[in-house]
Amino acid sequence: MSDCLLEIRDLKQYYPVRTKEQRKTFVKALDGVSFQVKEGEVFGIVGESGCGKSTMGLTICKLIEPTSGDIIFEGRNISGYKRNAMREVRKKIQMVFQDPYASLNPRMSIHDIIAEPLIIHKLCRTTQEIDARVLQLLRQVGLDDYHAKRYPHEFSGGQRQRVGIARALAVEPKLIIADEPVSALDVSIQSQVLNLLSDLRKELNLTYLFIAHDLSVVEHISDKVGVMYLGNFVEVADKYSLYEKPLHPYTQALLSAIPVPDPEVKRERIILEGNIPSPINAPSGCKFHPRCRHCMEICKQKAPERIDVDENHFVYCHLYGADGKLKK
Ligand code: SF4
């Protein structure tokens, strides 16, 4: 696909661990994930804590090495790239982290925090150029020039996240991996940061991988959404199909938890029993079966295969036949 910016093929991230009985086993944080993101697209990734979504972000920009699988960025397979080769790619793939409090060095001024990547990647020749670019980036994220002299502790959570975004933009990336960028912020501030990310995407033709634990957060910003459960996607679809016609019982449960603003609209709340199981000892068959209200005998024994419901919608669930229709 020519407009494909990022393609992930069968990506695995296994961590070796020892059980209480000293038996060696693996935490399968990512267990064969595959997907594509087109240039200019926003792909939202949603799931509960421990489903592997943050590991995915860190693995794609190779802050942790994948166990196996391919990461194809701009047509090049970067999965085997070592430190030096990654330096060039890192300029194009930037991360915005969940916790703006922890991701900014408290001893550095905002100017120095934003200038750091410009200096590391030798993007400006003189200090005047650096100063001008820092001010331009601050304005781009809705901050004022005088903020450059301040320190992170003098800012609110939303302002700190704006600084994190400015730092990511400094190297003119193509892809931004935003790992729960608004979950540490108050609800009123969340929408401001989401609007800023939306505006920047249009202005700079950015592509986002937008990670969140809540389907309501990714709804407005995403073009396509993938729902993850225990190291893999259970359903991926364009936004309209996923929110209007969710097929996987897990997606249906997550969606049922979103409050509907219209009191006339009644939506059945599906309560998910228990917590996400440990990835050290994942359930057999469909990993969701212990929590699924539609669980059948086959679900306990056999992992469901991918069913392509239409061009932009696939699901892993035994409820659907190969034609994508609900089995009788
Ligand atoms: Fe539920 Fe079975 Fe579908 Fe898994 S495969 S989600 S257990 S119905």
Looking at residue 25, what is its pLDDT?
87
Rounded to the nearest angstrom, the distance between the alpha carbon of 300 and the centre of ligand 1 is: 9
pLDDT at 277: 85
Distance from the alpha carbon of residue 321 to the mean position of ligand 1, in angstroms: 13
Task: Kindly list the domain boundaries of the chain, sorted by start residue.
Answer: 4-92+173-316
| Residue 299 alpha carbon, nearest atom of ligand 1 | 2
In angstroms, what is the span from residue 299 Cα to ligand 1's centroid? 6
What's domain 4-92+173-316's architecture?
3-Layer(aba) Sandwich (3.40)
Long-range contacts of 257-263 (CB under 8 A, 24+ apart): 258/214, 258/215, 258/216
- Looking only at the bridges linking them, the beta strands covering 4-18 and 68-73 are antiparallel
For the chain, the distance separating the N- and C-terminal CA atoms, rounded to the nearest angstrom, is 36
Atom of ligand 1 at shortest range from CA of 234: 6
Distance 176 CA to ligand 1 centre (A): 33
- For 94-117, letters b (16+ CB in 10 Å) and e give bbbbbbbeebbeeeebbbebbbeb
Residue matched to tokens 């993938």: 226
The pLDDT value given to residue 247:
96
Instruction: Locate the ligand 1 atom nearest the alpha carbon of residue 292 and give its number.
Output: 1
Distance, in Å, from the CA atom of 315 to the CA atom of 305, rounded to the nearest integer, reads: 8
Residue 2: per-residue pLDDT: 61
Ligand 1 midpoint to CA 294 (Å): 6
Beta strands in 175-246 (DSSP E): 175-179, 207-212, 224-229, 232-238
Report the nearest-CA residue for atom 7 of ligand 1: 289
Token match 């200096």: residue?
Answer: 119
Cα angle vertex 98, ends 94, 99, to 5°?
A: 115
pTM of the model: 0.92
Place of tokens 């926003």: 42
Token pair in block for residue 295: 């669980």
Nearest protein Cα to ligand 1, atom 5: 317
CA distance 256 to 260: 9
pLDDT along the chain (328 residues), means of 10: 88 89 86 95 93 92 94 96 90 89 89 95 94 97 96 93 96 96 88 95 96 90 96 95 94 88 76 81 92 94 94 94 86
Q: Which residues line ligand 1 (CB under 6 A)?
A: 248-249, 286, 288-289, 292, 294-296, 299, 304, 317-319
Tokens in use for 308? 């392509």
Helix (H) or strand (E) holding 217, with range, is: helix 215-219
d(CA 219, CA 189): 17
